Structure 1
Amino acid sequence: MLDDLDRRILRHLQADPEQSLPDLGDRLGLTASRLSRRLEKLREGGVILGQRAVIDWRALGYEVEVSLRITLDKTNPRAFDEFIPAAREIPEVLEIQTFLGQVDVRLSVIARDMPHYQQIYRAAILTLPHITDIEALMHVARIKSNEALPI
């Protein structure tokens, strides 16, 4: 269970993840050792899963993002078990989500341009096992993208 101090730590980390531990400790009124112990407790408890670099894929030359809604063959009991690992192997697939309902899986796919997307689609996506239907949604604009939680 998180206490008020844990929540304050998390709010400050979300607001400025690059701040140094001494600076964060000063903002929170904690010594570096006490802050380190709290952070370790949050990591061990699975609250903080790690740190990562968020890279703007557009800066690397990727201009196209497509969301693919995929329906799998539900008569095959191994459809998900075989589809998911195969989809993970496609480097341009940034995200895989599964759902209950008519749509089983959503893939977020990036490409440099439309010819590159067509190549990925034909050579990699269409070869994935157990697909019965695909609906492609071309991303036009990202209106909100925020990983910060209301803590």
Structure 2
Amino acid sequence: MLDDIDRRLLRQLQNDPAATLAALATRAGVTTQLATRRFERLRASGVLRGQHARIDWRALGYEIEVSLRFTLDKADPRAFDAFIDAAREVPEVTEIQTFLGRVDVRLSLVARNLADYHRLYRERILTLPHIAEIEALMQVATLKADERLPL
């Protein structure tokens, strides 16, 4: 599906998402017009779904990142939907993932400090519906956070 030109353009975009289209084209060894057409085609086909900003939560005063793993009480057939709908309402939740297996849902959340996390946990997390079990993992360090694909 992707040819060498597409791969070169996508590699350049991954390496410097803030670069201008002209700069990406130059680095990939193609004209700006060709790069424009290729990026339009990649967007239309769903390969390139957009660009986003990565915000450093610590720079904004959020010192704690926690991964919470939930096993849900699935006696209610709407347990997943109700839980996820409620979790989406917690502003400090930065990611929601669902799984097959013992763990049903994982939430990532940020807190300003340990006291803030305890407040969030008591007031927001423990009030989420259909919880059977919770496991909390406090992040100590991020060793790799690279979203680039080997193109």
TM-score, structure 2 normalization: 0.96
Instruction: Say whether 1:36 aligns with 2:47.
Output: no
**Correspondences of 1:1-151 after superposition (within 5 Å):** 1-151=1-151
Identical columns (%): 64
2-structure distance, mates of 1:34, 1:143: 37
Pairs aligned (count): 151
2-structure distance, mates of 1:73, 1:111: 26
- Structure 2 residue runs of 5 or longer lacking an equivalent are none
Task: Kindly provide the CA deviation profile for residues 11-67 of structure 1, in whole angstroms up to 9, marking residues without a partner as x.
Answer: 111111111111111222322222111101111111111111111000000001111
Task: Kindly provide the CA deviation profile for residues 62-100 of structure 1, in whole angstroms up to 9, marking residues without a partner as x.
Answer: 001111010001222111111111111111001111111
2-structure distance, mates of 1:115, 1:56: 21
1-structure distance, mates of 2:76, 2:101: 16
TM-score, structure 1 normalization: 0.96
Aligned to 1:143, the other structure's residue is in SS state coil
Structure 1 runs of 4+ with >6 Å offset:
none
When the two chains are superposed, the root-mean-square deviation of aligned CA atoms in Å is: 1.0
2-structure distance, mates of 1:89, 1:47: 30
- Structure 1 residue runs of 5 or longer lacking an equivalent are none
2-structure distance, mates of 1:95, 1:13: 24
